[in-house]
Chain A
Amino acid sequence: MSARNPGTKLDLEWISKVRVNTHAILKRAQHIQGQKIPKKQWQAAWLLKAVTCIDLTTLAGDDTPSNVHRLCLKAIQPIRSDLLKEMDMHNKGVTTGAVCVYPSRVADAVKSLKAANSSLPVASVATGFPAGQTPLETRLQEVRLAVADGASEIDIVINRTLAITGRWEAMYDEIRQFREACGDAHMKTILAIGELGTFTNVYKASLVAMMAGSDFIKTSTGKESVNATYPVAIVMVRAIRDYFLCTGHKVGFKPAGGIRTAQESLVWLILIKEELGNDWLCPLLFRLGASSLLADIERQIYHHVTGQYADYHELPMA
């Protein structure tokens, strides 16, 4: 396991040199979407890989210990075990990447997983999710509390006001403080790309987030009007590549919001493979934030194994 990204000093000159050509990015996205997706056992293997990268998420006002418990148990056995056995994958530790909940539900999730003897990480959104429009002090406190409750991954949201107005120094300082508050917990920084305006701003915000020591950068909260799109993902993963080339540190990428079908999850994997290479195709560096995606993937795998299309009730619910 490689070392975490320690971050760097804020390099404003680097940020000022960023150039992004919107048309070329869109064309690249089209090209990636047009790639032939893997078939047969290749498809099954890729879908299982996608499963291991899912942050199985519930972020609703009516979350209670009981539905969080169901979510946790689904996360540790995401695919019906008889299906896995058919592919000889039953003993290969196929679980989702993590479960992702609100800070108040962290304790419930940790409890459920502990009871099931699982070491699956619990991720928590924090820092005034989703808008981030609360005072810095309470946002920091939120992070600390979630970590204290046992969350080992924290999804923070950036202060869009600072990003849109180009106050990169202030944004860098804030994220630095979040990172400190996270301690050993991994930090995923949500850029809320739907609200940043231009691709150039997305690229710059990505760089600042990585310089400030993010372990992951994440597209969106799932609560904005524009969520994870392929073009914006290309911009972000190119920033990751840029950062890797300059510092040698690998930062992870997490698209979230609106990813619902198995087909889409394959395109995401192709995008990462094409732009960043195989190194990034693991839960350590790639996560898919999703709630309903898993059900569709499980149906596809059911079809691969049995040749039949499953009804939803044939597969265990989350």
Chain B
Amino acid sequence: MAGSTNKTVHDIFQSMEYGPAATSSTATAQAWLEHHSRSLGLFIDGKFVRPADRQSRSLADSKGGHVCSTVCAVEDDVSQCASSAVNGHKAWVNLSCHQRAKVLLRLVSVLGQHGPCVSELCELCDAACSPSTLVRLLQYYSSWAQLRDTLITNWTPLGVVAVVVSDDCSLYSLMIKVLPALAMGNAVIVVPGLSTAPPALLLAQLFVAAGLPPGALNVLTGSDLSLGAKVAQNSSISYVTYSGNKQDGVMLCKATAGMGVSVSVSPYIGARCPFIIFESADIDSAVDAVIETAFKKKREVLWVLCVQESVQDSVVARLRLRMVGMKCVGLHSDGDRVLVDAAVQDAQQQGATLVQSCAAPPSGAQYPPTVLCGAAPSSPFVVSPSPGPLLPLMTFRSNTEAVTLGNHSPHGQAASIWTEDLTLALETAKSLSVGSVWVNSHSVSDPCLPVSGHKDSGTCTDGGQEGLYQFLRPSSSSPPLPRSSPVSLNYSKFGTAASPAIIPDDSDSASAPKPYLQFVGGKACKSVSGCSVAVQSPGGGSVLAYCPDGDRKDVRNAVEAAVKVQPGWMKKSPSARAQSLYSLAKGLEAKRRDLCGSISVQTGLSSDEVDEEVELSIARLNDWAAYCDKVQGGTPPLPQSGCALSLPEALGVVGVVLPDKNPLLAMVTLLGAAIGNGNAVIMVPSQKYPLPALAFIQVLQASDLPAGLVNVITGSRDQLTVALANHSVIKAIWYWGSAEGCQYLQHTCTSPLKVLRLSCQKKDGGKEWNQSHPSLLEEMWRNAVQWKSVWIPTA
């Protein structure tokens, strides 16, 4: 740009070009880095720690200059950090809600003093996050810290939580996990990515200045994401939550499988999101938004432009006009340029036409913003998008087709829809299976809006009150998974062992064991294989009955049936679902004697205990029926003017592997939670005690539930767990079983992601099914829904 400063006034008067962009000063941040000799340590126990003999990792700014280096932590550092966090948690959790809230608020004023340093450092590290955004986050979560015990009674913090992010994760996405965890009273160990490391370290330091007890927030930097798994391995960690790209998230899930710690992921980066422009849209404003969001260098979501056929020409003409003169966007490497060129060439060979701001330069790591018109869902650049500022444009005919097109993607992160028709906007928002819908806007984020990726875009909710629960558990429950070390498990062999054949000793025809049927698609039937397994009496010894030996084909049939009826069931009014559950409870009452009989034969419990279990089961179904139309979303108050909705939605088809304990009560409790919220279920009764569940089939048959909504498949637990894990339609698995089973599911259910609720069965203890504490039921319905936020801005 040396020549540009010689431009005369007259030259500029003719060309009317903008001047060179002013470079902002980063002096304050540089001074902070210099103070640390440009080599940042770990932040443990309220201070910087610089252990000797560690490798370091260097961070460069956008022009390639050295910013600073960070330490690569090793096992010793992890254990030191974990024990500091345990102490930090003690100090932090013993403060009152008000005191915790005050610390968060004090950080706001500390940020006020050091705002320039924070924002300059963020800019240097390419992890942009404005101080006003941080202030909003802090103010929002400080009020939750203040109100925790008032509004969220009977929930307790988890302990030490690890927040792990990938290198490309933004500071906002990191903080939207760290702050709620702290606000709820947990200690947090942050494992930041390369670019978020310096700002995270600085914020940790400022947090201590604001009065956070040492150890409540520690920051460990590493060479890559494997540090996250090392931290998870530490037995004082209660929960691991991840944000960033999909590959690293999957790697973390696989690496932590079997550690006995629950891991949830928000792989929001790289999600393909529809940008839908209806003919009833303000097309100029929509095009404006496309220009603003689609061609950024740091793309978090990959937009796919879906335009109604009738306005395609008008959209393309405006894009063409607006894109004139847009500058080339920098790519990350020359390798990316090769990929972009290949993708564009491919697209052109398939007949796509290009709208480009200028011709592509012959080489180099940059490319002009490009719209690929004439894309189809099967185009290679849509299926596997290349890096670079490429935007595919597809057309649709009708409103329903827009939804179909938008939903036809493995991701469910977000959608932007443009129409001035309110009815159409709300109908579309409801039908899209994504976590965030932005009407006539895009990329709006605020801590009070819950963000919950659907499908392959996440297994937890961040933000809003809904996002607090990942850092809490009901006070009356114990952690569901005991800490363990992963065993060496042959994942391809798991669940393939043949079930032992048991042939009854005595062939007394009078007491010949009864053959039971399973329940698939609304019909009682044998297993597809025709095989059955013997059910033994509680003491062992004799054979009580034979039940079908279901396998993956039975699961497949059940899923087919379930997925047919689930959307209709979800659309039914909550009160209609409530009536069905009430009548199910009535049906159970009518068959009380049969059920009592099966429980007592199966478990050998006393008749009082059996009576109580059936009685509680009836009450539980009534509970869920009553809950149906009480579970509701809200209208989060955003600082901007407009209307936000937070809606609970069914997950879809849920697989449930039932516990041995309280075979009937556990079954109806989980069944009620699932179908009351609009899900369909495939239930695998306890392998040991299947009879009460099988006896319950007659109640299901007599009920008015749609055929296929509830399916019951018996057989080898491990074999059926494998079948559930490997069916992509199943969106969630609730599992009670062995530690190996938990490890198998954690390792396997990553592509596509499933929401896992795992419990390792112990000899005694485990979930107390006969408790009906409100927070326990609340936890269950929260597990049975996913959240969708809709944002409709107004003037």
Contact = CB atoms under 8 A, between A and B. Distances in A.
A19 B8 contact: no
Nearest to A276: B321
Contact of A49 (B13, B21, B794): B13
Interface stretch (B276-284, B545-553, B694-702): B276-284
Nearest to B795: A22
B493 interface: no
A165 interface: no
Interface string A44-70: 111011000000000000000000000
Given A49-B16, A88-B10, A21 B440 contact: yes
A58 to B, nearest CB: 27
A23 B438 CA distance: 13
Contacts of B22: 36, 39
A92 B10 contact: yes
B19 A23 contact: no
Contacts of B793: 23-24, 27
B792 to A, nearest CB: 9
B153 interface: no
A116 B394 CA distance: 61
A25 interface: yes
Interface in B8-26: 8-13, 15-19, 21-22
A278 interface: yes
A26 interface: yes
Nearest to A238: B284
Nearest to B281: A19
B346 interface: no
Interface in A148-206: none
Contacts of A42: 7, 12, 17-19
A241 B318 contact: yes
Interface string B280-305: 11111110110010000000000000
A42 B4 CA distance: 10
B325 interface: yes
A273 B281 contact: no
A1 interface: no
Given A19-B420, A28-B288, A87 B9 contact: yes
Interface residues of A, number: 36
B294 to A, nearest CB: 16
A91 to B, nearest CB: 10
B324 interface: yes
Nearest to A17: B279
B283 to A, nearest CB: 7
B321 A88 contact: no
Identify the interface centre among A23, A28, A48, A269: most chain B CB within 10 Å of its CB: A23
B317 interface: yes
Nearest to B286: A24
B9 A23 contact: no
B312 to A, nearest CB: 14
B499 to A, nearest CB: 62
B8 A24 contact: no
B285 A46 contact: no
B642 interface: yes
A38 B280 CA distance: 37
Nearest to A45: B12
A45, A269, A277 interface centre (most CB from chain B within 10 Å): A45
A92 B134 CA distance: 51
B28 interface: no
Given A23-B794, A87-B9, A273 B440 contact: no
Contacts of B18: 38, 42
A241 B21 contact: no
A150 B251 CA distance: 80
Contacts of B280: 19
B579 interface: no
Contact of B13 (A25, A48, A241): A48
Interface in A244-286: 245, 269, 273, 277-278, 281
Contacts of B16: 45-46, 49, 269, 273, 278, 281
A43 B324 CA distance: 23
A44 B283 CA distance: 35
Contacts of A21: 281-282, 285, 420, 440
A89 interface: yes
B399 interface: no
Given A38-B19, A42-B18, A277 B325 contact: yes
B236 interface: no
A40 interface: yes
A288 B318 CA distance: 26
A138 interface: no
- Identify the interface centre among A31, A46, A269, A273: most chain B CB within 10 Å of its CB: A46
B321 A89 contact: no
B318 A245 contact: yes
Contacts of A242: 284
B8 A88 contact: yes
Contacts of A43: 19
Contacts of A241: 284, 318, 321
Nearest to A26: B795
A152 B283 CA distance: 36
B795 A23 contact: yes
Contacts of A49: 13, 16
A131 interface: no
A26 B281 CA distance: 16
Contacts of B12: 41-42, 45-46
A28 B285 contact: yes
A48 B11 CA distance: 12
A277 B321 contact: yes
A315 interface: no
A20 interface: yes
B328 to A, nearest CB: 18
A41 B285 contact: no
Nearest to A39: B19
Contacts of A28: 285, 288
B425 to A, nearest CB: 11
Contacts of B288: 24, 28
B189 to A, nearest CB: 38
Contacts of B440: 21, 23-24
B323 to A, nearest CB: 11
Task: Choose among B9, B10, B317 the residue with the greatest number of A CB atoms under 10 Å from its CB.
Answer: B9
A40 B19 contact: yes
Interface string B334-357: 000000000000000000000000
B441 interface: yes
Contacts of B285: 20-21, 24-25, 28
A46 B18 CA distance: 9
A41 B317 CA distance: 34
Given A21-B285, A24-B441, A41 B321 contact: no
Contacts of B314: 245
Contact of B441 (A23, A89, A269): A23
Nearest to B288: A28
B13 A24 contact: no
Interface string B590-621: 00000000000000000000000000000000
Contacts of A281: 16
Nearest to B320: A245
Contacts of B21: 36
Contact of A277 (B10, B17, B281, B324): B324
26 contacts: A19-B280, A19-B281, A19-B283, A20-B282, A20-B285, A21-B281, A21-B282, A21-B285, A23-B795, A24-B282, A25-B285, A27-B793, A28-B288, A38-B19, A40-B19, A41-B7, A41-B9, A42-B17, A44-B9, A87-B8, A87-B9, A88-B8, A245-B318, A278-B15, A278-B325, A281-B16
Interface of B: 7-13, 15-19, 21-22, 280-286, 288-289, 292, 314, 317-318, 321, 324-325, 420, 440-441, 642, 793-795
Given A23-B795, A87-B9, 7 more contacts: A19-B281, A28-B285, A39-B19, A46-B12, A92-B13, A241-B318, A278-B16
Nearest first, the 3 A-B pairs at minimum CB distance are A42-B19, A24-B285, A45-B12
